[in-house]
Amino acid sequence: MTHILVTGGAGYIGSITVRLLRERGYQVTVIDSLERGFRAALGDAPLIAGDLRDIALLDRVFSSQPIDAVMHFAAYKAVGESVANPLRYFENNLGGTLALLAAMRRAGVRQFVFSSTAAVYGTPDYTPVDEAHPTRPESPYGESKLQVEHMLRWLGHSGDLKAASLRYYNVAGAARDGQMGEASAKSENLIPVVMRAILGSGPALKVYGTDYPTPDGTCIRDYVHVIDLAEAHIKALEFLNLDVGLEVFNLGSGKGVSVLEVLREAERVSGRSVPVEYAERRAGDPVGVWADTRKAASLLGWHAQHGLAEIVESSWQWHSTHPAGYQQ
């Protein structure tokens, strides 16, 4: 049985990946500060509550039991917050990762799956965006993820690490049984914002710009189901048994969906109207962004299995039955 240490495993994507790992027979231990994660999301999975910058804690974790690989989800991830407080993001996202990688090296653990982001690309020069696209982050959040990738690449060159960096697009959806989902009431992502607007637990949905050169005039983005994303992490872990160094992979549906398409699908699923306010375009919003996922298909054997309907249906099932998120 392979033993995986999952950092940030009490968060949205981490907790659903933990569940899938355990269903597949992996032994899992989670480290999470619980600052933004939820113990209730883990069920009976083993949890060590603590900060990755606690070097003594990390050494105790790695010395107390054999660990074969690390999946690293722990990070702050709000773009706006990172712009307002960049130092906090660099201290947490870079500092925590550096401490973790050093502890892995001391313990002789070499396999690493990293939760990265398509924000490393910035505003794209072309779509679909492939892994060869220039990286120009436009926020401290995106910059912090890119800097970690630079560290991983050099560690891979030195022979110290086998790593996969997974660059997510817009993650959405919930577990199939409706018992796990995105719990943060502060999430800036479109689908949770739409759900809160429908339920009256948040403001009306603001649609920024209806005059883009798209079929319905609104921006187009790529949405990937969280279940598909969890599956990709396991495939990346298996890939590390075959490869040395760092490989980066885009993870998205490979298809573009407009803001109004999301809105209409949410209305269909919920049977309710979405309160909407229309506003001018926001500066810097690209017309359309979606992923080229051919590399993940070729090397990992992965592609998204769930479309927009399943994303919105599972999101509605979760948000409508858990309006307050997890109860600690």
Residues with catalytic annotation?
141
Peptide bond into 323 cis (omega under 30): no
Among residues 3, 5, 14, the alpha carbon closest in space to that of 229 is found at: 14
Q: Which residues, including other chains, have CB under 8 Å from residue 185's CB and lie 6 or more apart? A: 196, 201, 202, 325
- 140-157 vs 95-107: helix crossing angle, rounded to 10: 20
Enclosing H/E stretch for 81: helix 79-84
Residue type for 97, please?
Answer: T
User: What angle is formed at CA 175 by the lines to CA 115 and CA 3, rounded to 5 degrees?
Assistant: 50
192: phi then psi, degrees, rounded to nearest 5: -60, -35
Residue type for 318, please?
Answer: W
Residues 314 and 152: beta-carbon distance below 8 Å: no
